[in-house]
């Protein structure tokens, strides 16, 4: 399988795409063709473990890797999760299900990919003949940073540097990153928002001067954000697994369609669902859920992507994003895989802050996606009302997806089974969840965890219960235009 850039003619192997992270022209790597999974192959995956299913899906794209080695890597990655199933599907009502993706080391869905990415990246470098030290730069709106730090800590030949908006993550997310262990990691808070963090990282990847300066130090860049296909690919697997769980538990018959509702910020998670559909998974509708920063809702409904708007800091901070990087991959498909058109739009977004797609593209996206957004009050009400009815606690991001899913089902009268993707443990946002459930505004995160446990009886994840006693290691704060200096200081060991 070859991979091509969304903005040009670069063509590389899967291993090279993962090692590089981003195309040389600034585009994102996409598969040259979408591999198909037949109904017979789906049936053969029914008795498999999650790790075996994941390896089977991944190998469809990464056929330059060794399958048995890939399967072993998946087994090792998902053995780090609490419980027997890394991605359990929970039945809520007759046609409503929760796909829980928060049982990994950092209690968020990013673990599904970032526990596996160290293997994919190191092996990708080996297969590509890359011997230099790899510097992974990560911009995070809260969850990717911690998952990358945890996944790559003390990894041989790799350094990880994470940038996050200083006032744009929850207290628990900030503490998770600030206390990270490992001799090869670094964390810097940025006096700006996530979009500026992400833009700075992208500029580093496309700057010949930066690459040359790092080359002098025998270092190359790679990414752990979902702009890297190695981050995106493992996420495709859990949509297949959820579908197979519905079939194996006799909730649906093989071939029946399902819907997925996904809380969406950078568009990677829902793009993985779209890729699963392109591979042959019987998906009817993808419900794209935004928070108060509802740029994706507006885009899907109007065909106009306009970032020239107020930026809101919300109780669902991982979705506080105005530049959804992975949307570029969808634009590539909507345009008939026309890289010139994609580049023109990305340049227009950078220079003018807005672009518009053609009418036929808008109609196509609306046939695939439904979209809605959930404000702050609606987030609180959704958490409260859902717990009252089902005794099921959810985090603030999942609440946005549940709100959008409920709205879609009510308006469309679509009775297709709905799987809501639950992307984080409620314990990652304990103060907001406790406020939603009880009206109590608890200032201390760990007191909120204790009260949330008493209120819901939901088990507290081990990694979060131990966090209080961990030493804070990273306190650096920098302006967005000073991040390159911080990168060189880290590489030089200062």
Catalytic residues: 110
Q: How far is Cα 213 from Cα 492, in angstroms, rounded to an integer?
A: 11
SS in 3 state form for 200-240?
Answer: HHHHHHHCHHHHHHHHCCCEEEEECCCCCHHHHHHHHHHHH
For residue 421, the cross-strand partners are 99
- Alpha-carbon torsion (444, 375, 309, 173), positive or negative: positive
* DSSP 8-state class, residue 471: P
For residue 306, the cross-strand partners are 354
The C-alpha angle with vertex 100 and arms to 274 and 147, in degrees rounded to 5, equals 85
Show the tokens assigned to 116.
């596996």
Among 71, 12, 21, which residue's Cα sits nearest to residue 229? 21
Q: Are 20 and 127 within 8 A, CB to CB?
A: no
* Burial class (CB within 10 angstroms; exposed 0-12, middle 13-18, buried 19+) of 460: middle
Q: Are 123 and 444 within 8 A, CB to CB?
A: no
Q: Are 426 and 458 within 8 A, CB to CB?
A: yes
* DSSP 8-state class, residue 46: T
User: CA 117 → CA 187, 270, 285, 287, distances in Å?
Assistant: 19, 19, 29, 27
Q: How far is Cα 221 from Cα 206, in angstroms, rounded to an integer?
A: 10
Show the tokens assigned to 148.
């990358």
Show the tokens assigned to 230.
């190695």
For residue 258, the cross-strand partners are 283
Among 402, 99, 412, 398, which residue's Cα sits nearest to residue 285? 412
For residue 165, the cross-strand partners are 190
Show the tokens assigned to 275.
């890729």
- Alpha-carbon torsion (106, 171, 459, 258), positive or negative: negative
Show the tokens assigned to 109.
């869905």
User: CA 136 → CA 185, 225, 303, 419, distances in Å?
Assistant: 10, 9, 34, 33
Supply φ then ψ for residue 474, to 5 degrees. Answer: -120, 120
């Amino acid at each position: 399988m070859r991979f091509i850039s969304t903005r040009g003619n670069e063509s590389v192997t899967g291993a090279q795409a993962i090692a590089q992270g981003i195309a040389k022209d600034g585009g994102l790597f996409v598969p040259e063709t979408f591999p198909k999974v037949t109904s017979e192959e789906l049936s053969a995956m029914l008795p498999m473990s999650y790790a075996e299913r994941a390896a089977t899906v991944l190998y469809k794209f990464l056929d330059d890797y060794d399958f048995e080695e890939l399967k072993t890597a998946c087994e090792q990655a998902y053995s780090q999760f609490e419980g027997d199933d890394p991605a359990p599907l929970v039945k809520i009502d007759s046609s409503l299900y929760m796909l829980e993706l928060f049982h990994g080391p950092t209690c968020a869905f990013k673990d599904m990919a970032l526990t596996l990415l160290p293997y994919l990246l190191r092996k990708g470098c080996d297969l590509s003949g890359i011997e230099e030290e790899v510097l992974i730069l990560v911009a995070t709106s809260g969850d990717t940073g911690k998952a990358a730090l945890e996944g790559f800590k003390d990894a041989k030949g790799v350094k990880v540097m994470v940038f996050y908006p200083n006032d744009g993550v929850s207290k628990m997310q900030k503490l998770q990153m600030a206390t990270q262990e490992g001799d090869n990691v670094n964390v810097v808070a940025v006096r700006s928002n996530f979009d500026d963090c992400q833009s700075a990282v992208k500029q580093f990847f496309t700057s010949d001067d930066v690459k040359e300066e790092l080359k002098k130090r025998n270092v190359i860049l790679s990414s752990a954000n979902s702009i890297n296909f190695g981050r995106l690919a493992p996420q495709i697997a859990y949509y297949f697994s959820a579908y197979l769980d519905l079939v194996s538990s006799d909730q649906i018959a093989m071939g029946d369609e399902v819907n997925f509702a996904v809380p969406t910020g950078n568009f990677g998670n829902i793009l993985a669902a779209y890729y699963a559909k392109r591979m042959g998974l019987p998906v009817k509708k993808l419900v794209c859920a935004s928070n108060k920063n509802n740029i994706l809702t507006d885009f899907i409904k109007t065909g106009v992507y306009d970032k020239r708007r107020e930026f809101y800091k919300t109780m669902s901070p991982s979705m506080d994003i105005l530049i959804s990087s992975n949307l570029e991959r969808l634009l590539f498909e909507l345009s008939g895989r026309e890289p010139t058109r994609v580049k023109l739009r990305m340049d227009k977004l950078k220079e003018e802050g807005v672009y518009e797609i053609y009418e036929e593209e808008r109609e196509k996206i609306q046939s695939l996606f439904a979209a809605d957004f959930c404000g702050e009050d609606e987030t609180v009400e959704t958490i409260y009302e859902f717990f009252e009815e089902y005794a099921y606690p959810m985090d603030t991001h999942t609440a946005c997806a549940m709100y959008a899913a409920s709205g879609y089902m009510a308006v469309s009268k679509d009775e297709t089974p709905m799987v809501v993707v639950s992307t984080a443990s409620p314990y990652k946002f304990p103060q907001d969840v406790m406020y939603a459930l009880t009206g109590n505004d608890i200032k201390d995160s760990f007191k909120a965890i204790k009260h949330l446990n008493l209120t819901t009886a939901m088990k507290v994840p081990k990694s979060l219960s131990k966090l209080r006693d961990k030493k804070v290691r990273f306190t650096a704060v920098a302006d967005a235009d000073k991040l390159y200096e911080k990168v060189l200081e880290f590489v030089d060991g200062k």
